[in-house]
């Protein structure tokens, strides 16, 4: 039996428990999701190497999943443009059954190889792309077919699952298995398995973006300041790195169109915006490397 489909002996009496005992049971099981991710860290790091190397070649990170897994891929992908100023094409999430499936269950979508083929062909996947299939069981025909097609195309393939015997393993260059075990409610993989998936996807994108220079230390220097909160954050970041006061940082950002990296270089060097941008481009848009030339 698939591990996430087993009956959890720890929660068999959950239906006759008090509210506090119910949430305690759920919370105790959630802790096991974190432990499961601990065991998968070497494979997650391997995946980060694959993804960041492909990013350097101009490739994309493409998530695929059905149901909760597909929604989590879309969520992680959607956070990359505002966080790291990436093109929306760079990290994408696709759910079996299309946009409607984000909000509603689409009968049979996870078992459709035809949908997998259509989605794969639509994205025109190349050998520089990284294909990631996400599935608690790792056996749904949609996600297995996606990885099979990915390997045939020459793309790198990654599986994210909670089943060590998942069929996806046969087509994965990197197999990430967080063994979360039986769910609080049997088979409800939106819970522990979903929590583990969310953690893993966060690591894949965040670590890969760090590897290609999207941060300065742990500061979000590629943030896209589209609202007041993010503009204030950008001001704080520029002030901290440049060593200048926040008023100077804000004025420089307002003048240069809220480009954080260029503003730091401008304030530290006195260069104009275009010269700062050229210096960045020369250094692969890695701020720390560009600053070393000043």
Q: List average pLDDT for each run of 10 residues in the chain, which is 294 residues long.
A: 87 94 94 95 98 96 96 97 93 95 87 94 96 96 97 97 97 97 90 96 97 92 91 96 96 96 96 95 92 92
The per-residue pLDDT for 4 is 86
The per-residue pLDDT for 1 is 81
Chain centre to alpha carbon of residue 269: 35
The per-residue pLDDT for 189 is 92
The pTM of this model reads 0.91
The per-residue pLDDT for 224 is 87
Q: How far apart are the first and last CA of the chain?
A: 61
The per-residue pLDDT for 149 is 97
Q: Which residues are catalytic?
A: 79, 110
Domains and CATH numbers, the chain: 3-211 (3.40.50.10490), 228-291 (1.10.8.1080)
Question: 49 in helix, strand or coil?
Answer: helix
The per-residue pLDDT for 105 is 83
Whether 182 contacts 3, CB under 8 Å: yes
The per-residue pLDDT for 108 is 82
The per-residue pLDDT for 208 is 97
- Contacts of 200-203 spanning 24+ positions with Cβ under 8 A: 200/37, 200/40, 200/44, 200/160, 200/176, 201/63, 201/72, 201/73, 201/76, 201/134, 201/160, 202/76, 203/44, 203/48
């Amino acid at each position: 039996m698939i591990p996430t489909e087993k009956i959890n002996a720890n929660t068999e009496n959950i239906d006759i428990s008090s509210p506090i005992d119910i949430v305690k049971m759920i919370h105790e099981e959630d802790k096991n999701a974190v432990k499961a991710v601990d065991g998968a860290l070497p494979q997650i790091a391997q995946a980060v190497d694959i993804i960041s190397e492909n990013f350097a070649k101009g490739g994309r990170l493409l998530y695929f999943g059905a149901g909760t897994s597909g929604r989590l891929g879309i969520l992680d992908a959607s956070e990359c443009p505002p966080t790291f100023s990436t093109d929306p094409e760079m990290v994408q999430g696709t759910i079996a059954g299309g946009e409607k499936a984000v909000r509603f269950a689409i009968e049979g979508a996870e078992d459709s190889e035809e949908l997998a083929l259509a989605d794969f062909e639509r994205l025109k996947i190349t050998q520089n792309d990284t294909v990631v299939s996400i599935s608690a069981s790792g056996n749904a025909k949609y996600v297995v077919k996606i990885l099979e097609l990915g390997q045939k195309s020459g793309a790198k393939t990654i599986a994210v699952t909670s089943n060590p015997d998942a069929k996806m393993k046969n087509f994965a260059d990197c197999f990430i298995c967080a063994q979360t075990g039986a769910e609080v409610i049997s088979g409800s993989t939106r819970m522990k398995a979903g929590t583990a998936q969310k953690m893993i996807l966060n690591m894949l994108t965040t670590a890969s973006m760090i590897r290609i220079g999207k941060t300065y230390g742990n500061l979000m220097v590629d943030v896209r300041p589209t609202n007041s909160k993010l503009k204030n954050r950008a001001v704080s970041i520029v002030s901290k790195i440049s060593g200048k006061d926040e008023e100077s940082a804000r004025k420089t950002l307002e003048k240069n169109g809220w480009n954080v990296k260029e503003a730091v270089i401008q304030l530290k060097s006195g260069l104009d915006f275009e010269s700062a941008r050229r210096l960045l481009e020369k250094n692969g848009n890695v701020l720390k490397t560009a600053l070393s030339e000043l």
